[in-house]
Amino acid sequence: MESVPLTHIWHYTEVDRAFWAEHLEGWLPQRLIDAHVHIADPSLRLEPMTDEKRRQHWAAEVSDPMTAQTLEHCDRATFPGRAVEHLAFGLPDLDFDIEASNDYARGQCVEHSWHSLSLLLPQWSGERVAEELDKPGVIGVKPYYSLIGRDPATRDRYIEASIFEFLPHCALEVLNERRAWVTLHVPKADRLGHPDNIREVKEIRRRYPGVTLVIAHFGRCYTEPHAREAFPALADDTELYFDNSAVLNPVVHRLALKTFGPERIVYGTDNPIFYMRGRRRWTGRRYINQTNANLHFNKDREPPEVEARYTLYMYEALRAIGSTCEDLGIGPDKVEAIFCGNAERLIRRVSARDE
């Protein structure tokens, strides 16, 4: 069989088909909810992508906007025979028209019977947040520190911000009242374990208990030391949730499953980025991405015969989740909860707020 183009420069190949059959098909539930995916209309870009921007961060090089139609096509290729739904949102990047990006994501999600989060502009008043939550299909918001202000030189100008600088209290009050969903990408170079993050996450939970708070990417804890520093501090709050998107590291999945339990974890891909092929390596508190394409970040190439066996990052992430669940004796019911049941329950709880 021929390879199928996915999005950007990535294809679905024989290697992926074999990987799916060997490592994933046997245990992955029939229904899946991917609760962390970015869809975007490329025509909503306000500032052109430049080579300089591509060089700033590996993710910038591989996050070309993906339409909902392309996502649907990729679902069919990467999850053969599975029913896939999404909780989707735009790209949190001020190089795009954010208001129009929210309209696009919302419209597409309604059309596909998915749900959407609106990118939260930190300048919005409480009334503006309420207006956004009134729109069909919108169950909450996706705040992000890069939405504080545009800096063409770096996406991390505001990485050391307080969470409340990009998820302000006036927004949280409305989100709490409306029992909305918040997928929170935490700031700080030190990631979730930074004492400010731990303190602020606890403050949100204490002051705004009506919010369904989902910490994205396990709090950006992609390495074992980061996970060990952060997870124990948030172990006891049974109503605090995490998405496991963008995490390929089996050790991190293991720590998360042992610390939080499968009931507090929802599946996410963080696509389109994770259609990338290759492997991730971890040394201490750093990770290195390797792929088979000629990209700026891809400095540590492996021999061609090794690169030829690369599969999609999203498949590597799935294998890590699957093998960790197996090791820990997490049965099919709990696996189903991670991939579908938990998100479904939370979406239902959030959507029921108006009834």
- Residues forming contacts to Zn ion in the complex (CB under 5 A) are 270
Measured from the CB atom, is 34 or 270 closer to Zn ion? Answer: 270
Measured from the CB atom, is 85 or 336 closer to Zn ion? Answer: 85
Measured from the CB atom, is 19 or 114 closer to Zn ion? Answer: 114
Measured from the CB atom, is 39 or 256 closer to Zn ion? Answer: 39
Q: Smallest distance from the beta carbon of 284 to Zn ion, in angstroms? A: 24
Q: Smallest distance from the beta carbon of 319 to Zn ion, in angstroms? A: 20
Tokens 């019977």 belong to which residue?
Answer: 113
Q: Smallest distance from the beta carbon of 59 to Zn ion, in angstroms? A: 9
Three-class SS state of 4: strand
Other C-beta atoms within 10 Å of 55: how many?
13
Q: Smallest distance from the beta carbon of 329 to Zn ion, in angstroms? A: 30
- Helices marked H in the chain: 14-19, 51-56, 58-62, 68-78, 98-112, 126-133, 163-166, 169-177, 195-207, 217-220, 224-230, 250-260, 304-307, 313-328, 332-336, 342-351
DSSP for 158-215 reads TTT--HHHHS-HHHHHHHHHTT-EEEE---STTGGGSHHHHHHHHHHHHH-TTSEEEE
Sign, CA dihedral 17-22-24-28, equals: positive
- Report the alpha-carbon distance of residue 150 to residue 214 in Å, rounded: 25
Q: Smallest distance from the beta carbon of 85 to Zn ion, in angstroms? A: 17
Measured from the CB atom, is 179 or 185 closer to Zn ion? Answer: 185
Residue type, 138: V
Three-class SS state of 221: coil
Three-class SS state of 255: helix
Measured from the CB atom, is 132 or 270 closer to Zn ion? Answer: 270
Measured from the CB atom, is 144 or 231 closer to Zn ion? Answer: 144
Q: Smallest distance from the beta carbon of 145 to Zn ion, in angstroms? A: 13
Tokens of 44: 């909503």
For the chain, first and last CA: distance in Å?
49
Q: Smallest distance from the beta carbon of 209 to Zn ion, in angstroms? A: 25
Q: Smallest distance from the beta carbon of 126 to Zn ion, in angstroms? A: 25
Measured from the CB atom, is 6 or 174 closer to Zn ion? Answer: 6
Tokens of 250: 């089996």
